[in-house]
Chain A
Amino acid sequence: MIRSGTYWDLGLLVLMSIAVYYYMRKAGRGEKLPSIRDIPAVDAIYEGVGRSIELDKPVHFAMGASGGQLYSSLVSMTLAALMLLRHTVRCCAKLGARLIVHVPGQTESIPLVEGIVRDAYLEEGKPELFRREDLRYYGYSSTSFTQAISDSYARDGVGLNVCVGIWYTDCVMPLGAAAHYGAMNVGGTARWIMAYAFAMMTDYLLLASELYAAGAKVSGNPYMVASVASEDIGKYFVILIIIIGVILMALGVNMASIFAY
Chain B
Amino acid sequence: MSASFWEILGIWVAAFFTFSVLSFLWKDNPYFKFGQQFIVGVVVAHNILFAMKSVYDNAVIPIMTQGRWTLIIPIILGVLMYTRLHRDYAWASKYPTAVLVGTGTGVMVTGILRGQIIDQAKMTVLDVFKSSNPVDIFNGIIILIGVLTSISFFIFTKEHKGPLGISAKIGRIFLMISLGANWSGETVWYLTQMTGRVMFLWHDWIKRAILGIG
Contacts and interface: CB of A to CB of B under 8 A. Distances in A.
A80 to B, nearest CB: 12
A147 B35 contact: yes
Interface residues of A, number: 72
Contacts of B101: 70-71, 75, 79
Contact of A72 (B39, B43, B104, B152): B104
B128 A246 contact: yes
Interface string B49-78: 000000000000000000000000000000
B93 A207 contact: no
Interface residues of B, number: 65
Given A70-B97, A208-B154, A249 B125 contact: yes
A255 B112 CA distance: 21
A242 B121 contact: yes
Interface string B148-160: 1001101111111
Contacts of B156: 36-37, 213, 228-229, 231-232
B88 to A, nearest CB: 13
User: Which of B33, B43, B96 has the most chain A CB atoms closer than 10 A to its own CB?
Assistant: B43
Contacts of A246: 125, 128, 144
Interface of chain B: mostly helix, strand, loop or mixed: helix
Contacts of B28: 150-151, 154-155
Interface of A: 5-6, 8-9, 12-13, 34-37, 69-76, 79, 105, 107-108, 110-112, 114-115, 138-141, 143-144, 147-148, 150-151, 154-155, 169, 172, 192-197, 199-200, 207-210, 213, 228-229, 231-232, 234-235, 238-239, 241-243, 245-246, 249-250, 255-256, 259
23 contacts: A8-B118, A9-B118, A12-B117, A72-B104, A79-B101, A110-B81, A111-B81, A139-B44, A139-B47, A140-B43, A144-B39, A151-B32, A155-B28, A194-B186, A195-B179, A195-B182, A196-B182, A199-B183, A245-B122, A249-B125, A250-B129, A259-B119, A259-B122
